[in-house]
Amino acid sequence: MANDGSLAMREERDSMGVVLVPSDAYFGASTQRAVENFPISDLRLQPAFNHALAQIKLAACQTNRDLKLLGKLQAAAIEQALREMLDGRFERWMVVDVFQTGSGTSTNMNVNEIVARRAREILAEGGSDETVHPNDHVNLGQSSNDVIPTALHLSAYELIVSKLVPELTHLEHALLVKARRFRKVVKTGRTHLQDATPVTFGQVFGGYAAQLAEARKHLTATAKRLSRVALGGTAVGTGLNAHPKFAGAVCKLLSQQYPFAVREARNHFRAQSSIDDVVAVSGALRMCGAALMKVANDVRWMGSGPRAGFGELTLPEVQPGSSIMPGKVNPVIAESLRQVVAQVVGNDASIAFAAQSENFELCVMLPVVAYNLLQSITLLANASNNFKSRCVVGLQTTDRGPALVESGLALVTALVPVIGYDECARLAKIAAKSGESIFAVASRETSIPTRKLKRLLNPLALTRRSNPAGS
């Protein structure tokens, strides 16, 4: 938003002097300097983060008013401006690049300046000549160094609780529905990408649901660490220039706005000089991604074909799969999910790198950490919902799975308790060479009665814990 000569400009002043700012902009000199200093990307911190920042400042305003640190008129104007911000009125004026000052000071000042300017307008409209300063009043009792990590914690935790966990739960339930529906449909198990003893599709999908449930539980437990916030530490953790009651009162007010209790950090020096809690949550998101990748990969493979692949599943046809091959349909929803997981793993690596780059009393890669963490949460939530509704719900089994079991060599494992490992290996080699089924070879090569052989080689019975050979 640097001036190219075509914009009407106004003069704004900060501690470094005069800056030209677009005349209609609600932000001021500090934000304009950031716009000019960081022309790096088109990435901006997400609305969820800005919303949390506004919530913090609203609670801070109310607390400072109650502590008689802000005049009633000033507090009322600031509060009205912040409520307008929470309604999304000023989102277009949140203009600072993600790749900015590592503390997020530019974003903090972006909010302070918008709120201060709007509050001054409100006061003037009411006939008051009182002023509102972005630092002295809107930022009272705060520092970017404690406000930005607090906004990160609150926005991430809220998205996890309100969006990601519900979507993971919905997907888990959809997988359980398939598990029940497919409970008697057998397929070839596979280990090392080679044929193994039979399983049912119900067991497989039940395993997927259980894996996702464990990842969800781990995320839910880990995310609770985000309820502890850095607010109250101000610049370096000492709480300089904040009223002793400030942080506790603000946290109490914030607890009324969020679906969880917001608590002051036990140790402000840890809270501001590390992002260990965020690293833990990002790791839990990676675990969720790994579970989703497992399911997406298996679904793609089982749906491969339809003639030259496994062809055990039919995936919903959502769009043509090729610009050159008519009739081709690809597993695009699963592919989309896999790409999301790749992004989440990359984001986690970036967050881990930021954590290792901390120095002294502050982590100075907070904006990119916030952007990546919130992106991971949002992507996983959206992709989980999409995978559930556009893929899992419409999955169907084919007769290919049971057919492959009948012709598979791994069935011979059921005969080991009766004729021994070596003899079973001999039968398997004969079947592999001749193309016959294990049943046909065993009928010819062993003295096992046909009725017992059928019972021993019943694919569905082999998926249960009981030992057919001992029955």
Query: Residue 201: in which H helix or E strand, if any?
Result: helix 201-223
Closest CA to 96 of 141, 166, 169, 38: 38
* Residue ranges, CATH 1.10.275.10, the chain: 9-140
The model's confidence at residue 444, banded by pLDDT at 50, 70 and 90, is very high
pTM for this structure?
0.95
* Residue ranges, CATH 1.20.200.10, the chain: 146-227+267-398
User: Could you report the per-residue pLDDT of 291-307, keeping only the tens digit for each?
Assistant: 999 999 999 999 999 99
The model's confidence at residue 357, banded by pLDDT at 50, 70 and 90, is confident
170 included as an active-site residue: no
CB 135 within 8 A of CB 29: no
DSSP secondary structure of 258-291: SSS--EE-S-HHHHHH--HHHHHHHHHHHHHHHH
- Looking at 303-365, list the stretches that DSSP marks H as alpha helix, in order from N- to C-terminal side: 332-356
Three-state SS at 411: helix
Multiple choice CATH, 9-140, 3.40.50.1370, 3.10.400.10, 3.10.129.10, 1.10.275.10: 1.10.275.10
Active-site hit among 6, 15, 192, 466: 192
| pLDDT given at position 471 | 44
Mean pLDDT value across residues 114-121: 98
176 in the Ramachandran plot: left (φ > 0), alpha (ψ -120 to 50) or beta? Answer: alpha
User: Could you report the per-residue pLDDT of 394-411, keeping only the tens digit for each?
Assistant: 999 999 999 999 999 999
| Alpha carbons 469 and 144: distance in angstroms, whole number | 70
**Domain 146-227+267-398 class?**
mainly alpha
| pLDDT given at position 465 | 76
| Alpha carbons 315 and 340: distance in angstroms, whole number | 19
19 Cα distance to chain centroid: 39
User: Could you report the per-residue pLDDT of 71-86, keeping only the tens digit for each?
Assistant: 999 999 999 999 999 9
Lookup: tokens for 409: 């060599």
| Alpha carbons 471 and 467: distance in angstroms, whole number | 7
> Max Cα separation, the chain?
105
- The burial class, CB within 10 Å (0-12 / 13-18 / 19+), for 112 is buried
Lookup: tokens for 448: 């096992």
User: Could you report the per-residue pLDDT of 135-162, keeping only the tens digit for each?
Assistant: 999 999 999 999 999 999 999 999 999 9
| pLDDT given at position 466 | 65
* Residue ranges, CATH 1.10.40.30, the chain: 408-470
Active-site hit among 41, 162, 322, 434: 322
The model's confidence at residue 308, banded by pLDDT at 50, 70 and 90, is very high
198 pairs with which residues across the strands? Answer: 188
Output the CATH code of domain 408-470: 1.10.40.30
- As a whole number, the mean pLDDT across the chain is 96
106 included as an active-site residue: no
Lookup: tokens for 309: 């692949």
Q: What's phi and psi for 9, nearest 5 deg?
A: -120, 160
Which of 396-410 are b and which e, b meaning 16 or more Cβ less than 10 Å from the residue's Cβ? ebbebbbebbebbbb
Give the angle subtended at the CA of 370 by the CAs of 249 and 277, to the nearest 5°. Answer: 65
Q: What's phi and psi for 185, nearest 5 deg?
A: -95, 115
CA atoms within 13 A on the CB side of 235: 2
CB 1 within 8 A of CB 35: yes
| pLDDT given at position 399 | 97
Mean pLDDT value across residues 302-319: 96
